[in-house]
Chain A
Protein backbone atom coordinates (compact mmCIF):
# COMPACT_ATOMS: atom_id res chain seq x y z
CA UNK A 1 0.00 0.00 0.00
CA UNK A 2 1.92 3.05 -1.28
CA UNK A 3 -0.36 5.77 0.10
CA UNK A 4 0.78 9.23 -1.04
CA UNK A 5 3.90 9.27 -3.20
CA UNK A 6 5.85 12.45 -3.91
CA UNK A 7 8.68 12.90 -6.39
CA UNK A 8 11.37 14.10 -6.39
CA UNK A 9 12.59 13.96 -2.78
CA UNK A 10 15.13 16.72 -3.27
CA UNK A 11 15.69 19.38 -5.91
CA UNK A 12 17.86 22.43 -6.38
CA UNK A 13 16.61 25.06 -8.81
CA UNK A 14 18.13 28.23 -10.15
CA UNK A 15 16.14 31.45 -9.93
CA UNK A 16 13.70 31.64 -12.83
CA UNK A 17 13.65 27.92 -13.59
CA UNK A 18 10.44 25.93 -13.66
CA UNK A 19 9.59 22.54 -12.28
CA UNK A 20 6.70 20.27 -11.40
CA UNK A 21 6.39 18.46 -8.12
CA UNK A 22 4.56 15.20 -8.58
CA UNK A 23 2.03 13.74 -6.19
CA UNK A 24 0.06 10.53 -6.56
CA UNK A 25 -2.23 8.66 -4.20
CA UNK A 26 -3.64 5.17 -4.53
CA UNK A 27 -6.36 5.37 -1.87
CA UNK A 28 -9.09 6.71 -4.17
CA UNK A 29 -9.28 9.87 -2.10
CA UNK A 30 -11.21 12.71 -3.66
CA UNK A 31 -9.57 15.51 -1.66
CA UNK A 32 -5.93 16.44 -2.24
CA UNK A 33 -3.79 19.24 -0.85
CA UNK A 34 -0.42 20.91 -1.29
CA UNK A 35 1.33 22.47 1.70
CA UNK A 36 4.63 24.14 2.25
CA UNK A 37 6.48 23.84 5.55
CA UNK A 38 8.85 26.55 6.65
CA UNK A 39 10.80 26.38 9.93
CA UNK A 40 8.74 27.59 12.88
CA UNK A 41 5.77 28.33 10.66
CA UNK A 42 3.85 25.10 10.55
CA UNK A 43 2.18 24.09 7.34
CA UNK A 44 0.61 26.58 4.96
CA UNK A 45 -1.95 25.46 2.38
CA UNK A 46 -0.98 26.34 -1.19
CA UNK A 47 -3.74 24.74 -3.27
CA UNK A 48 -6.32 22.05 -2.81
CA UNK A 49 -8.66 19.97 -4.91
CA UNK A 50 -12.00 18.41 -4.07
CA UNK A 51 -12.03 16.13 -7.09
CA UNK A 52 -10.80 15.67 -10.63
CA UNK A 53 -11.09 18.91 -12.57
CA UNK A 54 -11.71 21.06 -9.48
CA UNK A 55 -8.99 23.06 -7.77
CA UNK A 56 -8.88 26.13 -5.55
CA UNK A 57 -6.40 28.44 -3.88
CA UNK A 58 -5.26 28.06 -0.32
CA UNK A 59 -3.47 30.57 1.90
CA UNK A 60 -0.28 31.02 -0.14
CA UNK A 61 -0.98 30.29 -3.84
CA UNK A 62 1.17 32.99 -5.47
CA UNK A 63 3.88 31.57 -7.69
CA UNK A 64 2.26 28.16 -7.99
CA UNK A 65 -0.22 26.37 -10.20
CA UNK A 66 -1.97 23.02 -9.99
CA UNK A 67 -4.07 20.72 -12.10
CA UNK A 68 -6.16 17.66 -11.28
CA UNK A 69 -6.92 15.65 -14.39
CA UNK A 70 -7.31 12.36 -12.52
CA UNK A 71 -8.34 11.30 -9.03
CA UNK A 72 -4.87 9.90 -8.39
CA UNK A 73 -2.57 12.75 -9.45
CA UNK A 74 -2.20 16.32 -8.23
CA UNK A 75 0.97 17.97 -9.58
CA UNK A 76 2.22 21.34 -8.34
CA UNK A 77 3.89 23.63 -10.84
CA UNK A 78 6.43 26.35 -10.09
CA UNK A 79 6.76 28.56 -13.16
CA UNK A 80 9.48 31.05 -12.21
CA UNK A 81 11.30 29.82 -9.14
CA UNK A 82 12.24 32.41 -6.53
CA UNK A 83 14.36 32.08 -3.36
CA UNK A 84 11.18 32.63 -1.30
CA UNK A 85 9.96 29.27 -2.59
CA UNK A 86 12.75 27.41 -0.84
CA UNK A 87 10.80 25.12 1.44
CA UNK A 88 9.65 21.59 2.09
CA UNK A 89 6.53 20.73 0.14
CA UNK A 90 4.02 18.16 1.29
CA UNK A 91 1.16 16.63 -0.61
CA UNK A 92 -1.75 15.14 1.30
CA UNK A 93 -5.02 13.45 0.54
CA UNK A 94 -8.22 12.67 2.40
CA UNK A 95 -11.39 10.78 1.72
CA UNK A 96 -13.98 13.45 2.20
CA UNK A 97 -15.29 16.08 4.52
CA UNK A 98 -18.15 13.93 5.73
CA UNK A 99 -19.35 14.48 9.25
CA UNK A 100 -17.71 12.03 11.58
CA UNK A 101 -14.27 13.10 10.55
CA UNK A 102 -13.58 10.72 7.72
CA UNK A 103 -11.13 13.33 6.61
CA UNK A 104 -7.86 12.29 8.17
CA UNK A 105 -5.19 13.63 5.89
CA UNK A 106 -2.49 11.26 4.71
CA UNK A 107 0.82 12.88 3.85
CA UNK A 108 3.59 12.09 1.46
CA UNK A 109 7.23 12.10 2.57
CA UNK A 110 7.82 15.57 1.14
CA UNK A 111 9.97 17.32 -1.47
CA UNK A 112 12.81 19.47 -0.20
CA UNK A 113 13.31 22.34 -2.65
CA UNK A 114 16.08 24.90 -2.67
CA UNK A 115 16.05 27.87 -5.05
CA UNK A 116 19.44 29.50 -5.43
Chain B
Protein backbone atom coordinates (compact mmCIF):
# COMPACT_ATOMS: atom_id res chain seq x y z
CA UNK B 1 0.00 0.00 0.00
CA UNK B 2 1.11 3.53 -0.62
CA UNK B 3 0.15 6.72 1.15
CA UNK B 4 1.02 10.37 1.53
CA UNK B 5 0.81 12.63 4.55
CA UNK B 6 0.74 16.40 4.43
CA UNK B 7 0.92 17.33 8.11
CA UNK B 8 -0.13 20.96 7.72
CA UNK B 9 -3.62 21.92 6.59
CA UNK B 10 -2.53 25.53 6.15
CA UNK B 11 0.69 27.45 5.68
CA UNK B 12 0.77 31.22 5.95
CA UNK B 13 3.77 33.28 4.90
CA UNK B 14 4.53 36.87 4.04
CA UNK B 15 5.42 37.76 0.48
CA UNK B 16 9.15 37.54 -0.08
CA UNK B 17 9.68 35.00 2.67
CA UNK B 18 10.64 31.38 2.07
CA UNK B 19 7.81 28.92 1.63
CA UNK B 20 7.91 25.24 2.65
CA UNK B 21 5.10 22.72 2.26
CA UNK B 22 5.77 19.39 3.93
CA UNK B 23 5.12 15.91 2.57
CA UNK B 24 6.01 12.45 3.79
CA UNK B 25 5.23 9.24 1.96
CA UNK B 26 5.04 5.50 2.34
CA UNK B 27 5.53 2.96 -0.44
CA UNK B 28 6.66 -0.62 -0.51
CA UNK B 29 9.22 -0.07 -3.26
CA UNK B 30 10.90 2.90 -4.87
CA UNK B 31 8.73 6.02 -5.12
CA UNK B 32 7.81 8.34 -7.89
CA UNK B 33 6.85 11.63 -6.22
CA UNK B 34 4.87 14.57 -7.55
CA UNK B 35 3.65 17.98 -6.51
CA UNK B 36 0.50 19.49 -7.97
CA UNK B 37 -1.10 22.88 -7.39
CA UNK B 38 -4.78 23.75 -7.55
CA UNK B 39 -6.07 27.29 -7.96
CA UNK B 40 -9.69 28.08 -7.04
CA UNK B 41 -12.25 26.43 -9.32
CA UNK B 42 -9.52 24.84 -11.43
CA UNK B 43 -8.12 21.39 -11.94
CA UNK B 44 -4.76 20.31 -10.59
CA UNK B 45 -1.64 21.46 -12.39
CA UNK B 46 1.65 19.61 -12.37
CA UNK B 47 4.54 21.41 -10.62
CA UNK B 48 7.40 18.95 -10.44
CA UNK B 49 8.34 15.32 -10.01
CA UNK B 50 11.06 13.11 -8.61
CA UNK B 51 11.81 9.91 -10.45
CA UNK B 52 15.49 9.22 -9.86
CA UNK B 53 18.81 11.01 -9.75
CA UNK B 54 19.45 14.34 -8.09
CA UNK B 55 17.56 14.67 -4.83
CA UNK B 56 16.82 18.36 -5.50
CA UNK B 57 14.21 18.74 -8.18
CA UNK B 58 13.35 22.05 -9.81
CA UNK B 59 9.93 22.73 -11.24
CA UNK B 60 7.57 25.40 -12.51
CA UNK B 61 7.17 28.92 -11.10
CA UNK B 62 10.42 28.80 -9.10
CA UNK B 63 9.40 25.84 -6.95
CA UNK B 64 11.75 23.06 -5.97
CA UNK B 65 11.51 19.95 -3.83
CA UNK B 66 14.01 17.83 -2.00
CA UNK B 67 13.75 14.07 -1.90
CA UNK B 68 15.00 12.57 1.36
CA UNK B 69 14.91 8.80 1.30
CA UNK B 70 15.94 8.28 4.93
CA UNK B 71 13.17 10.57 6.16
CA UNK B 72 10.72 9.48 3.42
CA UNK B 73 10.01 13.13 2.73
CA UNK B 74 9.52 15.29 -0.33
CA UNK B 75 9.07 18.85 0.90
CA UNK B 76 8.15 21.59 -1.55
CA UNK B 77 10.06 24.86 -1.28
CA UNK B 78 10.22 28.30 -2.80
CA UNK B 79 12.89 30.77 -1.70
CA UNK B 80 10.72 33.88 -2.06
CA UNK B 81 6.94 33.48 -2.04
CA UNK B 82 4.55 35.57 -4.13
CA UNK B 83 0.94 36.46 -3.41
CA UNK B 84 0.07 34.58 -6.60
CA UNK B 85 1.45 31.37 -5.01
CA UNK B 86 -1.63 31.27 -2.78
CA UNK B 87 -3.33 27.99 -3.68
CA UNK B 88 -3.94 24.40 -2.59
CA UNK B 89 -0.92 22.13 -2.95
CA UNK B 90 -1.03 18.36 -3.24
CA UNK B 91 1.76 15.86 -2.84
CA UNK B 92 1.33 12.52 -4.61
CA UNK B 93 3.22 9.26 -4.73
CA UNK B 94 3.18 6.05 -6.66
CA UNK B 95 5.27 2.96 -6.49
CA UNK B 96 7.29 2.38 -9.66
CA UNK B 97 5.42 -0.89 -10.13
CA UNK B 98 2.03 0.83 -10.21
CA UNK B 99 0.49 3.69 -12.16
CA UNK B 100 -2.13 4.81 -9.68
CA UNK B 101 -1.30 7.93 -7.74
CA UNK B 102 -2.06 8.39 -4.06
CA UNK B 103 -2.65 12.00 -3.08
CA UNK B 104 -2.23 13.75 0.22
CA UNK B 105 -5.08 15.73 1.73
CA UNK B 106 -3.62 19.00 0.50
CA UNK B 107 -2.11 22.09 2.12
CA UNK B 108 -3.62 25.51 1.64
CA UNK B 109 -0.93 28.14 1.17
CA UNK B 110 -1.74 31.78 1.82
CA UNK B 111 0.85 34.40 0.97
CA UNK B 112 0.04 37.82 2.40
CA UNK B 113 1.24 41.02 0.83
Residue of B nearest to A91 (CB): B43
Give every chain B residue within 8 A of A50 (Cβ-Cβ).
99
A100 at the interface (CB under 8 A from B): yes
In chain A, what residue has the closest Cβ to B49? A101
Closest to B91 in A: A42
Interface residues on B, range: 20 to 34
* Distance between A79 CB and nearest chain B CB, rounded to angstroms: 24
Q: Is A19 an interface residue (CB 8 A)?
A: no
Residue in chain B with minimal CB distance to A98: B99
The stretch of B12-20, B62-70, B100-108 that contacts the partner chain: B100-108
The CA-CA distance from A85 to B43 in the complex, in Å, is 19
**Residue A90 at the chain B interface, CB threshold 8 Å:** yes
On chain A, the residues within 8 Å of B43 by CB distance are: 4, 90, 92, 107-110
Total chain A interface residues with beta-carbon distance under 8 A? 26
A99 touching B41, Cβ below 8 Å: no
* Contact of A101 with B32 at beta-carbon distance under 8 Å, contacts A108-B43, A110-B43 already known: yes
Instruction: Contact check, A42 vs B90: say whether CB atoms are below 8 A apart.
Output: yes
Interface residues of B (CB under 8 A from A): 4, 9, 32, 34, 36, 41-46, 49, 51, 90, 96, 98-101, 103-106
